[in-house]
Amino acid sequence: KKQAAASPVEAGSNKRARETDGAVTHEATATAPVNIAVIKYWGKRNEALMLPTNSSLSLTLDQDQLQSRTSVRVRAERGDAVRLWLNGREEKLSARMLNLVAAMRRLRREKEEEAKGAEELASRVLHVASVNNFPTAAGLASSASGLACLAVALDAALGLDLPRAQLSALARLGSGSACRSLFGGFVAWDAGVNNATGADSVARQVAPETHWPAMCALVLVASADQKEMPSSRGMQATVDTSPLLLHRAAHVVPERMRAIERAIRDTDFDAFAELTMRDSNQFHAVCLDTFPPIFYLNSVSQAVIALVTRYNELKHAKDSSRRFTAAYTFDAGPNAVLYLLKEDVPEVLRLVNAFFPHPSFANDNDRDEYYGQAKK
């Protein structure tokens, strides 16, 4: 862990570039970290404004481990086309990504109208190239780092220079969880109550990472395969069919948000760990309560839950000064994230490696094939 940077996202400067035909363009590159929620966002009360059913809270991970890197090129060519290459393959932009781009182009247009003589960038073709250095769409929050990164790269490429809170709101239009990746450390996303503008549905830093420097995350990849049910579609199905979600949003999450903020303020690991595991469990319970049901956990995930549970029990059977050493949480996928304190990392890693032995591979291709990367 390094010292907390002022901002977890990094935007390269806007550079002039030349196309093969000699035309001058602008280009900027940004990087952004993932965040893994301990109180989960799952459900939108307003899809157009991307307003969540409940508040959520996450930790932003160190971006030299898991990150998205995105370059945006403002082409010399006029037009409103946008093309995206994700991990080296061209993909269609989702309607929500197009919304995000449209909103940022509008801001650029306003700026051009205000400052006469400003270079006209709002109606140029955009090329976006992004790579994630970790599995995409596998429940490791690639949409969070990816869309936060897109907002930051567009901001630089279009010369907007927007404040962080505004970039967070723009990133939310691309993916809800992305609004939290603009801030480092412990980050809440308040659901808000304004359904007309969503102005109070904002991410805010609860505490910087330096507040609790011993806090660590271990990311355990059980499968790098793309999930069958993307988060956006999954949570909409839950909103449409799960009675349990209503109970969760109205009667469980509000108190948990207060309790987790308290646990963070007091650096109370036991309270933090219990809330984290309970909330992961309840999120997967609402997935099962969706009709037809959604299963994101697999047998490896269940084994990780059993291992962490048994380890905590055995370790603290005699030493009752604490109840938990490690806490598991799972996003919308089978991959586990364990939150634990730095002093406990070596022991927990030994345990994980003993129970889930890592095969050794002759080369990267063999490894990627084993973990499912080859499919993408």
Which positions lie near ligand DP6, rule CB under 6 A?
Answer: 37, 40-42, 56, 141, 143, 175-177, 231-232, 331-332
> If contact means CB under 5 to 8 A according to the sort of partner, which of Co ion, ligand DP6, ligand ADP, none does residue 86 touch?
ligand ADP
Interface mask toward ligand ADP for 18-57; x: CB under 6 A: ----------------------------------------
Q: Specify the residue, 74 or 128, whose C-beta has the smaller distance to ligand DP6.
A: 128
For 37, the enclosing helix (H) or strand (E) is strand 35-39
- By CB under 6 A, name the one of 141, 171, 245, 340 that touches ligand ADP: 141
Burial class from Cβ neighbours inside 10 Å (0-12, 13-18, 19+) for residue 1 reads middle
Is residue 333 a contact residue for ligand ADP (CB under 6 A)?
yes
For 163, the enclosing helix (H) or strand (E) is none
Q: Specify the residue, 87 or 309, whose C-beta has the smaller distance to ligand ADP.
A: 87
Shortest distance, CB of residue 232 to ligand DP6, whole angstroms? 3
Q: Specify the residue, 33 or 139, whose C-beta has the smaller distance to ligand ADP.
A: 139
Question: Cβ of 266: how many Cβ atoms within 10 Å?
Answer: 11
Q: Specify the residue, 149 or 206, whose C-beta has the smaller distance to ligand ADP.
A: 149
> For the chain, what is the largest distance between any 2 Cα atoms, rounded to a whole number of angstroms?
73
Stretch of 144-152, 165-173, 215-223, 252-260 lying at the interface with ligand ADP (CB under 6 A): 144-152
Stretch of 110-118, 138-146, 185-193, 336-344 lying at the interface with ligand ADP (CB under 6 A): 138-146
CB 67 within 8 A of CB 132: yes
Paired tokens of 181 = 């990746």
Shortest distance, CB of residue 149 to ligand ADP, whole angstroms? 6
- By CB under 6 A, name the one of 55, 142, 181, 280 that touches ligand ADP: 142
Alpha helices in the chain (DSSP H): 95-114, 142-157, 164-174, 231-241, 243-247, 253-265, 269-289, 299-318, 345-355, 364-370
- Distance between CA atoms of residues 275 and 255, nearest Å: 11
Q: Specify the residue, 40 or 127, whose C-beta has the smaller distance to ligand DP6.
A: 40
**Please, what is the angle between helix 142-157 and helix 95-114, to 10°?**
20
> If contact means CB under 5 to 8 A according to the sort of partner, which of ligand ADP, ligand DP6, Co ion, none does residue 41 touch?
ligand DP6
Handedness of CA 344, 347, 352, 353 (dihedral sign): positive
| Strands of the 215-220 sheet, one edge to the other | 215-220, 336-341, 326-330
- By CB under 6 A, name the one of 230, 267, 298, 316 that touches ligand ADP: 230
Interface mask toward Co ion for 187-226; x: CB under 5 A: ----------------------------------------
- By CB under 5 A, name the one of 143, 201, 242, 329 that touches Co ion: 143
Half-sphere exposure of 152 (CA within 13 A, CB side): 30
> If contact means CB under 5 to 8 A according to the sort of partner, which of Co ion, ligand DP6, ligand ADP, none does residue 42 touch?
ligand DP6
User: β-pairing, 203-207 with 67-78?
Assistant: unpaired
Question: Cβ of 15: how many Cβ atoms within 10 Å?
Answer: 13
| CA-based radius of gyration for the chain | 21
Is residue 58 a contact residue for Co ion (CB under 5 A)?
no
Shortest distance, CB of residue 330 to ligand ADP, whole angstroms? 11
- Which SS3 state, helix, strand or coil, does residue 115 take? coil
Is residue 231 a contact residue for Co ion (CB under 5 A)?
yes
Return residues touching ligand ADP (CB under 6 A).
Answer: 68, 70, 86, 94, 130, 132, 136-144, 146, 149-150, 230-231, 331-333
